[in-house]
Structures are given as C-alpha cells and as structure tokens.
Structure 1
Amino acid sequence: MLHSQFNPRRIATGSVWDLLWLGIFFQPQPAPRRALLLGLGAGTAVTQLQALFPKIAITAIESDPIHIQLATRHFGIDSSRADIHRGDARDFMSEYQGPPFDLIIDDLFSGSSGMPSRAVPCSLTWLRGLERCLSEAGTLSVNFADLKELKASGIRTILAEQKRFKQGYGFRHPSLENVIATLLTLRSKPDDLRAQILSVPSLASALRHDQLRYRVRELKTR
C-alpha cells in the first residue's frame, strides 16, 4: 500500500507526512545533519526534509523496489543527499555500526490485511535498537496507525524510565487516525514547537493558511 504526495512549491502537505518530522522543531533552532528514514514510501518525507534542511544527509531503508523507483524517478529526491537502501529495516538496525542520526523516522507500515498497520511491532526491544542509533540530542519519530497501536507499544515504558528520553509527544492530524509519537532527549513545550515553526517562513505561511495541520499532546507514562 503506497500513499505519498509532495508539491515542490509547498513543503507542507497538509497530511500525515508533515507530522513525521514536525517534532524536530521541539529542538531550539533545529539543524539535523543526519537522518534515518525506515520506510521510504514514494519519498515525500525525504523531499520535505531536503527542502527544509539543505545540508541534511538522509539514509532511507525500503523493502519494495517499486517504491524506490517511484521515489527516485518521479518525486524529486536529491540523490546526492539521500542514500537509499533496498532491504529489511530490522536487518539494517541490527547490523548498523555507523555514526548516529540526529533524526530517526520509523514509518514502517504494511497494508497486506487491507488496513494499514505497523510492519514491525514497536516493542521495547525495537525502541532500544532505534535509541542506540540516535545522536545525543536526537529526535525519534514513530508512526502508529491509531491510538490503540500506540498504547500496545513500548513507548510508555521507555518514557517512564526517564533515561535517554525525557519527554514524548503525540501528533495527530484533525481528520486522520494516525498517531506519530515523538520522543525527545530534552524537555520542551508545544509553545516552543510553535515558535520554531513560525521562525521558518515556509512553515509559518503553511500554518497561517491551514496547510500545516496538527494537534499535539504530551504522552503520559500511565
């Protein structure tokens, strides 16, 4: 199942793809240099990140060759700043020994049952593997099909430990069921997020014209 969209004249899509990376703006003056995307789709999130952060280097893992072909040939990905691997994200995570990432987006979904759901269960073990590859001040973003899927994951447990991740937020689009959990290595507030969004002219314009739509709430550990 493939859903993706991007208008090169407008960074925000007004849909769920915006929420995958929006949590990076909890950081003061975010400038991620390295990002990991697990699940490429047709590359919307990659093109958005490349437009927002010109110096970013992106590694993307995708198991479907058709998705890779669409992303590289038709959706405007700058291949000089994107290293796309065909393979299983679980294998990549278990074998990765390279430098850490400032942003990790887990967008691993399957539509084999007719309804989108996570392709890899977001267990505590899986989250620890993602955490291992994250830089000291990095941001982790995990897409869930709905609130039920989030509650069944290891998100609350890893937040309750208060070790690496100090705070978590859940992003939702007003008309979609998805919940994107953003885990932070610092403490921040929704007002900080909004201030950073408004400091980027293209995003400020999108927010004013209702082209960037989100609701955000802190994730509780109980």
Structure 2
Amino acid sequence: MAIKHTEIKNGVRYEVRTAGASVRLYTNGVFHSQWNPNNPLIGSLWDLFLLPVFLLSPGTDCSELKSRLARALVLGVGGGAALNQLLALHPECIIDGVDLDRVHLRLAKRYFGLGRAGVNLVCQDAELWLKSAASEPYDYVLEDLFRESDSQPGEAVRCFECDAMWLEQLFSRLRDHGLLVINFESVAQLNAACRILRKACLAESAYAFTKNGYHNAIGVFCKMPIDHKVNEREILKWAAACGMISARYSQRIRDFSVRRIRL
C-alpha cells in the first residue's frame, strides 16, 4: 500500500493511501473512507449505506429508482466513499456533504474525485448546519457522524447521542418518500433510537442492516410505510441489475443481513 499524502494539522495526522485503484483516508490512524471506482461495492460496512436505496423503489427498474433519488444529504463526509457510491449509481444526483474537518473535504476533492459539479461540500458543524441552512428536502439523508474515541485512540465513536431533537431535525430535511440512514455503533443504540421514534411517531418504516465482523448497525427509516418485499436476495438483485456488483467482490457483498423493525 502506497502513501500518497501525509500532513499534520493542529496535532491531527492525515494520510491518504492507495492500493491499486483503491484510495483510503486515515485520520490519526482511524480508517475513515475507502473508494475504488472500479468496484462501487466491495463488501465493506459502507455498502450498507447504499444498499437501502433499493427501498425507494421496488423491482429492478434502475431508471425509476434514479428518478426518486434526485437529491441527497451526507452528514459526515470523511473521504467521501458514501457520496461516490451514490454517484456511481446515479451520476446526476445532487449531493450536499457536510463535515467539520476542512482537511477531510480538501482531500475528498483532491484524491476521491469530489471536486465536481453537483457536489456541494460544506465545512460546518452538522448540528448548526441543520438548524441554519436552507435547502430543498432530500430523497436520501445519511448521518455518519463519528470521531476518534477519547479513551481508545484509533477507535471511532459517534459524535453525540441520537436523541429525539436530533431525529426530528433529520426528519425535517426528508421528503415523505425519502430515506434516513444512520450509522449506529451497535444494535443497542439503534434500538434506543427506535424507541424514541415510536414515542414521537416520526417514522412508519424501519430496518436494521448489519454485517458480520462489524458491531455497527445501520438504521434505515422512512416517514411512509414500505410495503414491497425487502430481504437480502431482493436487494442483491437490485444491485446487480444496476451494475453495482462485480464478480470479484460478489461473495463479500452477500454477507449482510436486513431485518424489519416494528414501530
């Protein structure tokens, strides 16, 4: 693995490493992002941010799916792997990305190909941005706000608790048919958020996406009921129909689980 970029700013060490066509971002040793333009899905945790997009449209008609994915918001850009996956599926999708780390955004543009039309990267605290910035509602909102652990250097933890006020702010930016995707450290954190959603009646549909080898649980929520069939097999059929699965990584990509949560 080659080191393409190294810098230290305000006591934080940033590295961009490459292996073949794959690009990785590390911040103080924390693995933030990986992107390979030849393989949009590689069997990593980041795949679980994109695979729920299938819920926007039943069946394998990619043109219908893309029509329901016009605008996306990503809170916590890192190197931009999640943004690149969305663009690999739908190059015309308009994406706003918010990250507090200015270096992350600069490296995302320089090494991860995100200095392009249709991608608006903003350096700001995500909470402040949600409260103050005006925008059209989104079809897809990803909340992936993590920082380095104070007690365990090199480990990533959520920036703050996903409480009722935060969930309300996230849902306020979502279209009625849209998806809210949140990266939780654990199933326990996801279940706690679902208890809040039940009490507040913010969502009609909820799913948990998990993957072997990871403690994280990806929560996927929608204001409206999702009535079509959702399981691992159907999601993989959609991904294959849209050209998102390569033969090289097909077995790794299959190693995930999806579970419907009653609200």
1:141 paired to 2:181: yes
2:165 to 122, 125, 128: 125
Larger mean Cα displacement after TM superposition, 23-32 or 96-105? 23-32
CA deviations over 1:97-154 (Å, ceiling 9, x no partner): 32101000000011132232210311111111111100121000000111222233x3
Asked if the contact 1:102–1:134 (Cα under 8 Å) also holds between the matched residues in 2, the reply is: yes
CA deviations over 1:185-214 (Å, ceiling 9, x no partner): 331432453443342123375774434532
Structure-2-length-normalised TM-score: 0.76
Asked if the contact 2:205–2:262 (Cα under 8 Å) also holds between the matched residues in 1, the reply is: no
- Alpha-carbon separation, structure 2, partners of 1:213 and 1:71: 28
Task: Show the counterpart of 1:174.
Answer: 212
1:13 paired to 2:34: no
- Alpha-carbon separation, structure 2, partners of 1:206 and 1:124: 42
- Alpha-carbon separation, structure 1, partners of 2:128 and 2:162: 15
Q: Secondary structure at the match of 2:107?
A: helix
Task: Show the counterpart of 1:30.
Answer: 65
Q: How does 1:91-106 map to 2 (within 5 A)?
A: 91-106=128-143
Q: RCO higher in 1 or 2 (8 Å CA, sep ≥ 6)?
A: 1
Q: Secondary structure at the match of 2:117?
A: helix
Aligned residues: 219
Q: Secondary structure at the match of 1:3?
A: strand
Give the Å deviation of 1:38.
0.3
Structure 1: gaps of 5 or more residues: none
- The amino acid that maps onto 2:148 is G
- The amino acid that maps onto 2:216 is N
Task: Show the counterpart of 1:200.
Answer: 242
Larger strand proportion, structure 1 or 2? 2
Q: Secondary structure at the match of 1:136?
A: strand
Task: Show the counterpart of 1:155.
Answer: 194
Larger-gyration structure (1/2): 2
Structure 2: gaps of 5 or more residues: 1-29, 58-63
Q: Secondary structure at the match of 1:203?
A: coil
Asked if the contact 1:124–1:157 (Cα under 8 Å) also holds between the matched residues in 2, the reply is: yes
Q: For residues 190 and 63 of structure 1, do their structure 2 counterparts lie closer, same or farther at Cα, with a shift above 3 Å needed?
A: same
Larger mean Cα displacement after TM superposition, 125-134 or 28-37? 28-37
RMSD: 2.1
Task: Show the counterpart of 1:69.
Answer: 106
Larger mean Cα displacement after TM superposition, 42-51 or 143-152? 143-152
Asked if the contact 2:236–2:254 (Cα under 8 Å) also holds between the matched residues in 1, the reply is: no
- The amino acid that maps onto 1:177 is H
- Alpha-carbon separation, structure 2, partners of 1:23 and 1:130: 17
Structure-1-length-normalised TM-score: 0.89
Q: Secondary structure at the match of 1:79?
A: coil
Q: For residues 59 and 212 of structure 1, do their structure 2 counterparts lie closer, same or farther at Cα, with a shift above 3 Å needed?
A: farther
Give the Å deviation of 1:78.
4.8
Q: Secondary structure at the match of 2:84?
A: helix
Q: Secondary structure at the match of 1:68?
A: helix
- The amino acid that maps onto 1:56 is C
